[in-house]
Amino acid sequence: MMSFLAAYHPLIDLLLLNCGCAFGQYIVLRAGAFSIANAGLTSIGAYTAAILATRYGIGLGGTLLCSTAVGLVVAILLSLPLARLRGVYQAIATLAFVQIVLTLALYAEGLTGGALGLNAIPKLVGTPTLLICVLAVFYLMAALDRTRLGQAFDAIRQDEIVAATLGVQIASTQVVAFALSGAISGLFGGLIALHTYSIDPNQFGFPMLVSLLAMVVLGGRRSIYGPIVGATILTLLPEIARPLSDNRTLVHGIMLILIIVFLPRGVVDSLRGLSFRKPRRLQQGVASDVPSA
Amino acid sequence: MSLRLENVSKQFGGLRAVSNVTFCAEPGRITGLIGPNGAGKTTLVNLITGILSLTEGSIGFGGEDLTTMSPTDVARRGVVRTFQNVRLLLDESVVANVALGFYRHGRSSLLADIVGLPSARAEIRKVHEQAHGLLHRFGLEPYADTLVRNLSYGHQRRVEMARALAAKPSLLLLDEPVAGMNDVEANELGTIFSSLAASGIAVLLVEHNMRLVSSICEDLVVLDTGRMIASGKPDAVLSDPAVVQAYLGA
């Protein structure tokens, strides 16, 4: 077991990082916001952590706290104009946000290192830290299932008018979703920076954006297991099918199309739909369908 | 609390869908809103619930002005509706849909919910007990854990009504609640509506089933091409020549 973990720990670390980033994407999609800003928010977290660790020598706890806080604040600011948009317009606006962040990372050389990025970042994060962070986020997501906030997320995602007519505050609920998403993305951006020695703008571009979206759509947007299953499949698949690893983005794109066509609710949510039991009356084969009020 | 509409109008471009409609829906009574297809009944319900904004006029409920309120704010005043075309969360179970109706009455904080404090757990238990009580009332108990998308249309209508009652309305707007149901089912639901009104709720019933309307409504309002052509007691309204002409033509 230990030799297995030793041999595969880089892959396990990558899987844990992807799970965390996928949760950041999951939370906004679950709340019915079509945001793809997470690559940008993750890069903000990563650069925050890298700058604090390399230039100011701040330790693990401080850097992660700051990267989480910065991600959270930027996401809240981003959510304010996005509250006026819906659907594909939200997607376009958040795509523009990612481009702006990456352009700033590219041209603010004095701060971000430009195209070469930031190097010699101290490696302060190992598998145990990643595992703890993923478990903490997973607990938070699981807890949301029993909260009114989780209930509101599901209602808004499925029918915004119904949600509003039952008293759900659409705008403020989505601000909370963005805040959670920003905090998670900032945290895992920080973890990426403190785990991989160096970061550069290309890491957080279009491929990451597509990957995160694919992980959640593949796994499922409703169940908290969706991002884990999606991240696991899309992290392990290129490793299992080595010849495909150079065309990772292409594979993700093709899988997205296939899933949208054949499993529009994702793997976990489709299985969840099958697992719901049939009504007792139908199981018993009773023909009468007239209920007694 | 009573609902008051004064000179309510709604213009869509060149079409005046609702024109100078004025009436009251009193608590403890069922007010029927009838009219041929395209008369503006659903538009009026959308105006009352804040989904559409008024072009002219005002809407008040319980002394508060709903005219410019958002759907959320209207809902928080106890105005609850069902939809002409059933609108449910299809990927959730029946009991989860009904539990959503209790949303605005929740009291536990987000932190208490996340940590799982005893008070939060007790509230969740209470909501589920009340939701199951409503499912029993509507004959939906055997379907509690079924995904709503797997239910028949008639059962989905009942789930929507159970969800509306879960919201503990002061004003209940029912948009064609018995459409597609047989007489037995329509009468069962009619009995439920009457008992709701008897408990002090103001009920506005949009319906084409004249047998149901004439048997349970205390007041009737008739719309035709957006205009109110009659209002009053059902017997008098249904024999009004203008109403007969609107339904049967010249």
Q: Are A284 and B178 in contact (CB under 8 A)?
A: no
Strands (E), B26-82: 30-34, 56-61, 64-65, 79-81
pLDDT tens, residue by residue, A120-140: 999 999 999 999 999 999 999
CA neighbours closer than 13 Å in the CB half-sphere of residue A259: 24
Q: Would you call B90 and A158 a contact, using CB atoms and an 8 Å cutoff?
A: yes
> What's the rounded Cα separation, in Å, for the pair A169 and A154?
13
Nearest Cβ partner of A147 from B93, B113, B188? B113
* ipTM score: 0.91
Each domain of chain B, given as residue ranges in start order, spans: 3-78+169-248, 94-164
Nearest Cβ partner of B71 from A151, A158, A164? A164
Give A-chain residues touching B137 at CB under 8 angstroms. 293
pLDDT tens, residue by residue, A240-259: 777 776 777 777 778 778 87
Give B-chain residues touching A276 at CB under 8 angstroms. 93, 145-147, 150
DSSP class of residue A5 equals H
Chain B: nearest CA to A133, how far in angstroms?
Answer: 17
Give B-chain residues touching A143 at CB under 8 angstroms. 113-116
Q: Are A163 and A156 in contact (CB under 8 A)?
A: yes
At position B10, the amino acid (one-letter code) is K
Render each residue's pLDDT in chain B as its tens digit; 250 residues: 899 999 999 999 999 999 999 999 999 999 999 999 889 999 999 999 999 999 999 999 998 999 999 999 999 999 999 999 999 999 899 999 999 999 998 888 878 888 778 888 888 899 999 999 999 999 999 999 999 999 988 899 999 999 999 999 999 999 999 988 888 889 989 999 999 999 999 999 999 999 999 999 999 999 999 999 999 999 999 888 988 888 777 5
Each domain of chain A, given as residue ranges in start order, spans: 2-289
> What's the rounded Cα separation, in Å, for the pair A172 and A181?
14
- Look up the CATH number of domain B3-78+169-248: 3.40.50.300
Q: In this model, does residue A195 exceed pLDDT 70?
A: yes
> What's the rounded Cα separation, in Å, for the pair B179 and B208?
8
pLDDT tens, residue by residue, A23-55: 999 999 999 999 999 999 999 999 999 999 999
Q: Minimal Cα distance from A138: which residue of B?
A: B114
- Look up the CATH number of domain A2-289: 1.10.3470
Q: In this model, does residue A202 exceed pLDDT 50?
A: yes
> Residue holding tokens 């594979």?
A251
